[in-house]
Amino acid sequence: MSETKLDVTGLNCPLPILHARKLLQGVSAGTVVDIRASDPASVKDFNAFCRKTNSDLLEHTEERGIFTFSIRKGK
């Protein structure tokens, strides 16, 4: 299982999701993507994104206004 990072801090909805979608399209199933975002709406957006793409939200944290998501791409 490989791991990839994506930093979308400073971008607002819908750009974080669009960047994540593009990145996930180019990686293999099972790849873990760590995403950093600053948009508070990204919490709700990435939860919905994972449900729609059959990906797993492995972890979500928030520290000083930066939201970090670990997502494993589904099949």
Annotated catalytic residues are 13
Give the span between the Cα atoms of 51 and 46, in whole angstroms.
Answer: 9
Q: What H or E segment, with its residue span, contains residue 11?
A: none
Q: How many CA atoms lie within 13 A of 30 on its CB side?
A: 2
